[in-house]
């Protein structure tokens, strides 16, 4: 596995389903999105629903 790191600023937003399941999202800047897509497709090729990729996020001191 390759350890990639991307730093950017974005707004966190909440999506909540009818069954009260909620997810938090951050819309990536276009350039970061393209870089992540490139590495994901060329390193492991695994895609999740609607093109999502699993990430580990650090905001401030919280991971």
pLDDT in tens, the chain (63 residues): 566 788 888 888 898 888 878 888 888 899 988 888 887 777 666 666 666 777 788 888 988
Cα separation of the two ends of the chain: 19
pLDDT at 58: 83
* pLDDT confidence of residue 61: 92
What pLDDT, on the 0 to 100 scale, is given for residue 51?
Answer: 66
Q: How many CA atoms lie within 13 A of 50 on its CB side?
A: 0
């Amino acid at each position: 596995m390759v350890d990639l790191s991307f730093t950017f600023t974005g707004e966190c937003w909440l999506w909540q389903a009818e069954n009260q399941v909620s997810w938090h999202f951050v819309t990536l800047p276009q350039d970061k999105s393209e870089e992540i897509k490139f590495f994901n497709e060329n390193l492991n090729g695994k895609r999740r629903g609607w093109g999502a990729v699993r990430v580990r996020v650090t905001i401030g001191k919280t991971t």
